[in-house]
Amino acid sequence: MTRDEISQKVGNIVIKHFDIDSDKVTDQVRIKEDLDADSISVMEFVLELEDEFGTEISDEDAEKIETVGAAVDYIEKHQNN
């Protein structure tokens, strides 16, 4: 999957999960601060990423995913693992 394809899918999850407009989704959007996500919401988001891409994200790695772009980078890097 190309980065653009991953970015599109991650964007769709962000739009649906955090109920925001599509034009507000950029790589720079900070999940906790800009999307007002608390720990439960972040965990739900991480689990949705796992389901969508069939990859496992450890708790330690999940903590490092602070922006939408970081989520896309992570999936791109781990997609064949």
Partner 1 sequence: MRIAVDAMGGDHAPKAIIEGVMLAQEDFPELEFLLFGKETEIKKYLKNEKNIRIVHTDEKIESDDEPVKAIRRKKNASMVLAALAVKNGEADAVFSAGNTGALLAAGLFIIGRIKNIERPGLMTTMPTLKGAKSGFDFMDMGANADSKPEHLLQYGILGSFYAEKVRGIQEPRVALLNNGTEASKGSELTKKAYELLTVEPKIHFIGNIEARELLNGEADVVVTDGFTGNAVLKSIEGTALSLMGILKTSIMDAGIKGKIGALLLKDSLQGLKSQMDYSAHGGAVLFGIKAPVIKTHGSTGPEAVRYTIRQIHTMLESNIIEDLVTQFETESGTKNQ
Are residues 49 and 71 in contact, defined by beta-carbon separation less than 8 angstroms?
Answer: yes
Q: Which residues contact 56 (CB under 8 A, 6 or more apart)?
A: 50
Binders of partner 1 in range 23-42 (CB under 8 A): 40
Q: Binding of partner 1 at residue 4 (CB under 8 A)?
A: no
Nearer to partner 1, 5 or 33 (CB): 33
From the CB of 4, what's the least distance to partner 1, in Å? 29
Give the residue among 69, 44, 38, 40 at the shortest CA–CA distance from 57. Answer: 44
Nearest-angstrom CA–CA distance, 32 and 67:
8
Q: Is 59 in the site for partner 1 (CB under 8 A)?
A: yes
Q: Is 36 an active-site residue?
A: no
Applying CB under 8 A, which residues contact partner 1? Answer: 40, 43-44, 47, 59
